[in-house]
């Protein structure tokens, strides 16, 4: 609680009382702390690859370049770290664009079946590289939703690529699309390493990662799921991550169906 005081004078100029204003600043302080934590996280995430790039470049300049084999190895590290920074900046821009509503959402009637199929196809090579099975069970007819196609595709790419990333070689990933009365439900399940129960409530927070080192190693920024949630929220949908009893992870995405105009 923050308090401000001001004297209250009568017409003669005598002190008549004191005005005390109490302000509840809990919410303000919470936001301020979140902002500080976010800036600290971004700085740290950018600093890590920069430090690596700098030290490898220095070693190259100090003579490591003379050994061609070693030089190439170092350049590869630098290239990977630069890629990581690019991914991070891309994800940050995506978050801030949507935050400030600067991007116009290009919403129109789209067929969800088509979008899910496209995302699955897009990632089938990554799954194949890990000898994983990536199955899609869609619907025969189109499923109409009012959505920004690219954004929803981005959500699916984030979630399905997580399933691929956090599932061992030879694992299995199932994607399905179902229609209930008012909603289209996309389910992405994998039989990978799963997420510990205690981490589930925080999984959509920016930069939250169950295993920071492992996620980094796999090219993760810790922003994929928060971006997914932000996009789904704008579509008035719901996204939920759960552990499967049999092990592995299940992600559920619900989007409102585009209702046909009813007569009467
Ligand atoms: P990242 O870029 O690190 O993958 P995300 O925001 O996409 O970040 O995911 C946050 C964290 O949630 C990941 O670091 C990982 O620990 C965990 N996670 C997400 N999806 C899965 C999954 N399918 N299986 C296991 N863990 C997952």
Q: Can you tell me the mean pLDDT for 14-23?
A: 89
105 C-alpha to center of ligand 1: Å?
26
Q: How far is the CA of 168 from the centre of ligand 1 (A)?
A: 14
Task: Give the pocket of ligand 1 (CB within 6 Å).
Answer: 158, 162-163, 166, 190, 192-195, 203, 208-211, 215, 220-226, 249
pLDDT value, residue 264: 46
d(C-alpha 215, C-alpha 162), whole Å:
10
- Is the pLDDT at 47 greater than 50? The verdict is yes
If we measure between CA atoms, which residue out of 233, 195, 192 comes closest to residue 211?
A: 195
Mutate to test the pocket of ligand 1, among 87, 162, 210, 228 (most ligand atoms within 8 A of CB): 162
Bridge partners of residue 240, in order along the sequence: 252
Coil, helix or strand for 264? coil
Q: How far apart are CA 119 and CA 114, in angstroms?
A: 9
Q: What is the pLDDT of residues 185-228, one digit of tens each?
A: 999 999 999 999 999 999 999 999 988 877 877 778 899 999 99
Instruction: Kindly report the pTM of this predicted structure.
Output: 0.83
From CA 17, how far away is CA 70, in angstroms rounded?
A: 79
| Higher pLDDT, residue 104 or 57 | 57
């Amino acid at each position: 609680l923050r308090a401000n005081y001001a004297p209250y004078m009568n017409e003669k100029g005598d002190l008549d009382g004191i005005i005390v204003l109490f302000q509840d600043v809990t919410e303000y302080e919470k936001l301020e702390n979140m902002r500080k934590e976010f800036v600290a996280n971004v700085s740290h995430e950018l600093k890590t690859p920069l430090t690596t790039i700098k030290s490898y470049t220095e070693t190259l300049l100090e003579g490591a370049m003379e050994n061609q084999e070693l030089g190439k190895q170092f350049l590869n590290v630098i290239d990977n770290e630069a890629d990581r920074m690019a991914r991070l900046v891309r994800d940050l821009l995506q978050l801030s664009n949507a935050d400030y509503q600067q991007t116009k959402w290009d919403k129109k009637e789209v067929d969800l079946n088509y979008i899910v199929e496209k995302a699955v196809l897009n990632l089938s090579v990554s799954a194949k590289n890990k000898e994983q099975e990536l199955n899609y069970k869609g619907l025969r007819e189109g499923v109409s939703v009012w959505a920004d196609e690219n954004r929803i595709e981005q959500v699916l790419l984030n979630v399905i690529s997580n399933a691929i990333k956090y599932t061992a070689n030879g694992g299995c990933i199932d994607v399905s699309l179902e229609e209930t009365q008012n909603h289209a439900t996309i389910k992405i399940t994998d039989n990978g390493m799963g997420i510990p129960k205690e981490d589930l409530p925080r999984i959509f927070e920016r930069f939250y990662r169950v295993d920071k080192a492992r996620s980094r190693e796999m090219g993760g920024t810790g922003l994929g799921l928060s971006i997914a949630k932000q996009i789904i929220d704008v579509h008035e949908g719901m996204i939920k991550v759960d552990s499967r009893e049999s092990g592995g992870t299940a992600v559920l995405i619900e989007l409102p169906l585009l209702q046909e105009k009813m007569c009467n």
